[in-house]
Amino acid sequence: MAHDDTTRSRTPPRRLTIEDVATEAGVSVATVSRALRGLPNVTPSTRDRVQAVATRLDYHPDPAATRLAAGRTRTVTLAIPSLSGWYFSTVVAGAEAVCADAGLEFQVIAVPTPEQRNRLLDESQRLERRTDALILVDVTIEPHQVESLERRKVGVATIGSNIVGHPSVCIDDELVGQLAAEHLLSLGHRRFAAIGGRPEGPMSFDVPDARWRGFRRTLAAAGVSVDDGDLHNGNFSLDGGYEAIAPLLDGPHPPTSVFAMSDEMAFGALIACRERSLGVGSDISIIGVDDHEFSRVVELTTIHQPVADHGSLVARLLIAAMADAARTATTTSATPGASAHDVTASVDLTGPVRPVISLIERSTTGPPNR
């Protein structure tokens, strides 16, 4: 009554190891290891045979054993202030897809506070053992932390900021501010307010600063002056946007236009305006940043950035950089001149990649009516 014990039995089937494959294929484990990883020094015929057996047995090397023996984890870890929210989740999705494609495990960790950020980054020892590389999304990192990761050969790539010598994707945030200012200015606005970042909030990334600089500079060039009192904290959230704008609307001297540094904050502002029966696009103009999926639902004028590309782009850059590093390491210590013909990875992966941004004019902005 022989039945397939490995699929029917109630007891856990013994996991098959490289040795099972070796025995079955009539070779040594070393050969199996080489064959399966596509290393040289294996006769094509034996390689094929080994691969056939492995496939038939449905063999997959144990990642833990591989890690322990080889020292590499084949996993990428992404750290991000939050996993929810449109921007963040879109970035995560992009990065995951690329990593999965590359056969890398994808781990993710939310670091909403500076404490958690440091707890993660200060333990490079721990990190090295868990991951081959780190993708930092709107997470700041200090020089000594970078250095520590470099020393431990942990790859690093960033979104929203950049580290010299490491791949990064970030838009020109000053330009964002400039485009917003130019648009509002061209419409005839002269009274502005801005809703921006979390000065004492969880993270301290410099995106909002740069946007504010660009905004302010452009206004100044047009002879309009704003000061830091015109910048309000909206925490990059819908509620934050609402809270930030409401008092202004109720105040004695409301702005005719507001630059919300994210669409989500702009949505909050929209609610506040509706509550007060203000005509958005006439009584008051609102411009956001992101081109959030739902911006067109409310016809929000905004500055588009290709968020979906951010994640996949860094992941690709990171993977290329890692491959590059690995190859350089072996190349350097083996055949110093071998890279002459190998221009494959000679694209520069260390400078920041700057996705193109553009103004999308919809109906929440218009000429001021007062």
Partner DNA sequence: CTGTTAGCGCATTCAG
Partner DNA sequence: CTGAATGCGCTAACAG
Q: Out of 37, 56, 151, 354, name the contact with a copy of itself by CB under 8 A.
A: 151
Q: Out of 23, 51, 62, 128, name the contact with DNA by CB under 7 A.
A: 62
Closer residue to a copy of itself (CB): 14 or 370: 14
Residues β-bridged to residue 193? 258
Pick the closest to residue 364 from 293, 268, 275, 283 (CA basis): 283
Out of DNA, a copy of itself, none, which partner does residue 325 contact, by CB within 5 to 8 A per kind?
none
CB 298 within 8 A of CB 270: yes
Q: Per the structure block, which two tokens stand in for 158?
A: 């960033």
Separation of alpha carbons 326 and 316, rounded Å: 15
Closer residue to a copy of itself (CB): 90 or 302: 90
Separation of alpha carbons 237 and 303, rounded Å: 17
Per CB under 8 A, does 277 bind a copy of itself?
no
Q: Out of 66, 75, 116, 350, name the contact with DNA by CB under 7 A.
A: 66
Per CB under 8 A, does 9 bind a copy of itself?
yes
In this structure, are strands 301-304 and 358-360 parallel, antiparallel, or unpaired? Answer: antiparallel
In the bound complex, what is the minimum distance in angstroms from residue 273's beta carbon to DNA?
58
Separation of alpha carbons 271 and 280, rounded Å: 10
Q: Give the CA dihedral 288, 294, 297, 302, nearest 10 degrees.
A: 20
Per CB under 7 A, does 52 bind DNA?
no
What's the per-residue H, E or C state across 234-269? CCCCHHHHHHHHHHHHHCCCCCCEEEECCHHHHHHH
Residues 32-51 that bind a copy of itself (CB under 8 A): none
CB 268 within 8 A of CB 292: no
Q: Per the structure block, which two tokens stand in for 182?
A: 């130019």
In the bound complex, what is the minimum distance in angstroms from residue 20's beta carbon to DNA?
8
In the bound complex, what is the minimum distance in angstroms from residue 68's beta carbon to a copy of itself?
4
Per CB under 7 A, does 158 bind DNA?
no
Out of a copy of itself, DNA, none, which partner does residue 354 contact, by CB within 5 to 8 A per kind?
none
In the bound complex, what is the minimum distance in angstroms from residue 134's beta carbon to DNA?
20
Per CB under 7 A, does 178 bind DNA?
no
Instruction: Judge residue 163's burial from the number of C-beta atoms within 10 Å of its C-beta, 0-12 exposed, 13-18 middle, 19 or more buried.
Output: buried
Per CB under 8 A, does 26 bind a copy of itself?
no
Residues 102-121 that bind DNA (CB under 7 A): none
Separation of alpha carbons 23 and 248, rounded Å: 77
Closer residue to DNA (CB): 320 or 326: 326
Per CB under 7 A, does 42 bind DNA?
yes
Per CB under 7 A, does 328 bind DNA?
no
Which spans of this chain sit near DNA (rule: CB under 7 A)? 15, 17-19, 26-31, 33-34, 36-37, 40-43, 45-47, 59-62, 65-66, 68-70
